[in-house]
């Protein structure tokens, strides 16, 4: 028997731990930005131009998506507002969870899809939405559906959309600064008499500009996985039970991935869902391994 396998885990500790890890990973992204700016500054003597220009473009691109995130997600998913009379259980469960958590009532949507899935979006609790697939409503028990909904409301309560928008801005800055730097090399004076040290520094800058966007993208995916773990733990905090969410995750794991149904979701909004509908390796996935999520929940 593996040591510690059945040790109990506090959901409070799990939430705090994953939030700390998320902050540390953001710190790593900031270190990469500083390193990239420093090397470019040593090469060109003006790192601030790259930082300012990259920041402006990243802000315009990401903040626009931030304020329209809920509407964009709903439109991309092809979701429609849920009729309160037709989906009374859905409304009742969310109402009960919002009362228990102190959250305002989000707008509720339905997405026509046979797979078990759900997502939440919105820049803050006052401007949020929750959407579930018809497959989730048909295949999950009341307790399992409550577990899924509590997970999605946890994303809203934890301001995960705002947090991941900040991460996206930082990652976008690095990608843009790297792209500007690499393109600028085409216009660099090839006749300039750079010394050996300058040539080495230029090589370091090129390598860093190529690898930095890849590295911070992997960090961004890791942060996304930490936020999923935190949402699982927060769901337990809301419902004081693990059985519903564990049961739902087991059904999601056992479910055959229908490629036609997955295409209806679209990769752009796949990270929002409780389970990524596309198969990815653990390193490049926006979501943790389902077995790992179940194991941690069962220890709470």
Active site residues: 152
- Cβ burial, residue 264 (10 Å; 0-12/13-18/19+): middle
- Quote the CA–CA distance of 297 and 237 in Å, as a whole number: 11
Pairing state of beta strands 118-122 and 128-133? antiparallel
Q: Which tokens is 44 given?
A: 């060109």
- Cβ burial, residue 105 (10 Å; 0-12/13-18/19+): middle
Q: Which tokens is 279 given?
A: 């198969």
Cα angle 109-125-151, degrees, rounded to a multiple of 5: 65
Q: Which tokens is 58 given?
A: 């990243």
- Quote the CA–CA distance of 24 and 105 in Å, as a whole number: 32
DSSP assignment of 191-217, as one string? Answer: T----HHHHHHHHHHHHHHHHHHHHHH
DSSP assignment of 280-298, as one string? Answer: --TTT-SS--HHHHHHHHH
């Amino acid at each position: 028997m593996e040591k510690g396998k059945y040790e109990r885990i506090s959901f409070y500790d799990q939430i705090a731990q994953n939030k700390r890890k998320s902050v540390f990973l953001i710190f790593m992204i900031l270190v990469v930005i500083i390193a990239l700016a420093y090397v470019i500054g040593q090469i060109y003597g003006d790192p601030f131009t790259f930082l300012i220009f990259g920041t402006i473009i990243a802000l315009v691109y990401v903040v626009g998506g931030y304020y329209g995130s809920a509407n964009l997600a709903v439109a991309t998913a092809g979701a429609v507002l849920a009729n309160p009379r037709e989906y009374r259980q859905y409304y009742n469960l969310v109402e009960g969870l919002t009362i228990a958590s102190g959250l305002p009532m989000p707008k509720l949507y339905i997405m026509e899809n046979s797979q078990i899935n759900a997502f939440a979006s919105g820049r803050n609790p006052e401007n949020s939405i929750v959407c579930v697939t018809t497959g989730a409503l048909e295949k999950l028990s009341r307790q399992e559906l409550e577990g899924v909904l509590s997970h999605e409301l946890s994303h809203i309560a934890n301001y995960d959309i705002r947090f991941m928008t900040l991460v996206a801005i930082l990652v976008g800055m690095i990608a843009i600064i790297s792209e500007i730097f690499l393109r600028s090399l085409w216009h660099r004076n090839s006749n300039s008499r750079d010394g050996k040290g300058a040539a080495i520094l230029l090589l370091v800058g090129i390598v860093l500009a190529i690898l930095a966007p890849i590295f911070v993208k992997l960090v961004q995916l890791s942060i996304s996985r930490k936020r999923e773990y935190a949402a699982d733990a927060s769901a337990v905090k809301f419902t004081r039970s693990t059985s519903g969410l564990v049961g739902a995750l087991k059904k999601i794991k056992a479910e055959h991935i229908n490629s036609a149904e997955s295409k209806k979701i679209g990769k752009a909004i796949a990270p929002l869902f409780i389970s990524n509908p596309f198969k990815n390796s653990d390193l490049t996935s926006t979501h943790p391994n389902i077995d790992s999520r179940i194991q941690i929940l069962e220890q709470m």
